[in-house]
Chain A
Amino acid sequence: MAALCRGRHRWKKTNCLYVPTRNLTGKYDYDLVVIGGGSGGLACSKEAQFGQKVAVLDYVDPTVKGTKWGLGGTCVNVGCIPKKLIHQAALFGTALKDAKKYGWQISEPVCHDWATMMEGVQNHVRSLNWGHRVQLQDKKVKYLNFKGSLVDEHTVKGLTKAGKETILTAKNIVIVTGGRPKYPTNIPGAVEHGITSDDMFWLKKSPGKTLVVGASYVALECAGFLTGIGLDTTVMVRSIALRGFDQQMAGLVTDYMETYGTKFAWKCVPKRVDKLSSGALQVTWTDTQTGGEHQDTYDSVLWAVGRAPETKALGLDKLGVKLNQETGKIVLATDESTSVPNIYALGDIGEGRPELTPTAIKAGKLLARRLAGQSAELMNYDNVPTTVFTPLEYGCVGLSEEEAEKRHGKDNIEVYHAFYKPLEFTVAERDASQCYIKVVCKRFGDQTILGLHFTGPNAGEVMQGFAMGFQCGATYSHLSQTVGIHPTCAEEVVKVNITKHSGLDATVTGC
């Protein structure tokens, strides 16, 4: 037996008999092994039919607090899905207040029960875990609850929770391991006493009075829904909110949150977190503008200070898979290939890729088709719309105003804008000062739309249709030729006509 153990042969244990897993024709166990069962990984493995043998490895390292979850990745378990459901729970809270003005006799006080909400949310998440499991089985994709790592460009090692090893060989390997929330590295008490979004969506008890550290969309969305369900919430921002997004729009989002009860500690940096004998957390921070030190107590501290790619345990350096030095993400070509032939990557782990579920899913499907020789189509990462589900939602597609100015020059762009009031806010006597639309266009020629921005209710629903127009190269004239649907907030987008250049008041008057 030992004499046959040389070169590229791999051996798999079956009881006491060692069976070669690559026969003399060089065939592999699998045509495709996907490491990571999230949005990208599941889409890729389910699409890879055409007679291909596919395996997907999914494994969740528990958080510091011990939280873990099932198949489906971040989006299903600790991201988009629970986030949107809890955001909805918070919106209902606001709606209940509005409802009184519409005639509903609601007896005060109306309270929110965290456990009831979480039971509903977690039941839905678990049904998605199961649904994915059934789909994989149905499509004959082998599912392995193993932590995958690379041995060489055709070999994957899978490790069970108990430490048992399995070796798989594959013609092609796709790395779709995504990312996990970062903890701050220089704040005593941060890891022991704080939580991240990974924990937030599985908390059995309400987080109570919460300090959210960070100003990314994760931080603002979480702070937004916590405020909405009635919790005392503070957001601690080191510098600016929603970095990378249009800053005027970011300001409207945070202004709305402040008006509606979220506290903001601007330009502040936490120094330490201590646990008091009462169980409460005492946070000490520095106000970087005054230099002064402050303290306050919270029931929970949520770190939303960025996400790190899950590459450490993969063994990528051993294989020479090139990573971006700054971000730690995998460097990819336009066809999702890495620096090592037969190894691909997509989703959050890819350098320069949007950290969004729809792009991961689409890229995963297209890659599967290409690997099966069914298509040559590459993923188009341009014109990707997105929405931030803060209490006042913000949807956008294309360039921010600042980016458009940078690329085309301030004098070569025209910005049409409008402050509008959703009809539903009128009877409810709600403040609509931050409901706003901005269409950034090329100033001359066809006036091609470079970016579309919208804050208001159901921003995601509003933006989806406009994203198609954007994809088709819509111009300002296409927009203004489109008849609005009345009465909606979305119609205000096609009606924009005041430019920033004109200096005129952009507030829409009623019809």
Chain B
Amino acid sequence: MAKYEEVSVRGYDEFCQAVSERKGKDIFAYFSGDKDDQGKSWCPDCVKAEPVVRGEMAHLPEGSVFIYCQVGERAYWKNPNNDFKKTLKLSGVPTLLRYGTPQKLVEEECFKADLVKMMFTED
């Protein structure tokens, strides 16, 4: 049995839905630019960070939730008024955060396996 639950969502509404269905849980969310049919994201940093983040997922705490969220196409993301930027206060992709806490890793910080592991393992 998996220690944590992995959920895949696309767009802001689906993200909020996934969160609201899991109230009270320790939720980690990874935001990435949309992947094309070949599975490649328009965001080069996201392409670089994903294997690093996935490589540390074995350290996710028991009972936690990992939401993989594709935010949208490049044009949507570039708009400063998109819901992720306005409401969730995301400043860039990739972003890895612990929902409901100030813990987050943004862009190049996601390339560092030790920082990702730190977020998954420390309180």
Contact = CB atoms under 8 A, between A and B. Distances in A.
A133 interface: yes
A123 interface: yes
A374 B63 CA distance: 48
A127 B109 contact: no
Contacts of B112: 137-138
Contacts of B102: 123-124, 126-127, 129-130
Interface in A121-143: 123-124, 126-127, 129-130, 133-134, 137-138
B101 interface: yes
Contact of B114 (A127, A129, A137): A137
Interface string B91-123: 000000000011111000100101100100010
B115 A134 contact: yes
A126 B101 contact: yes
Contacts of A127: 102
A134 B101 contact: no
B115 A130 contact: no
A130 B103 contact: yes
Interface residues of A, number: 10
A137 B117 CA distance: 11
A466 B94 CA distance: 44
Kindly state the interface size class of chain B when it binds its partner: 10 to 19
Contacts, number: 22
B117 to A, nearest CB: 9
Max count, chain A CB within 10 A of own CB: residue among B101, B102, B105, B114: B102
Nearest to A122: B102
Interface in A156-215: none
Contacts of A133: 118, 122
Contacts of A129: 102
A124 B102 CA distance: 8
9 contacts: A126-B101, A129-B102, A130-B103, A133-B122, A134-B105, A137-B114, A137-B118, A138-B112, A138-B115
Q: Which 9 A-B pairs rank lowest in CB-CB distance, beginning with the nearest?
A: A127-B102, A126-B102, A130-B103, A130-B102, A137-B118, A137-B115, A137-B114, A123-B102, A134-B115
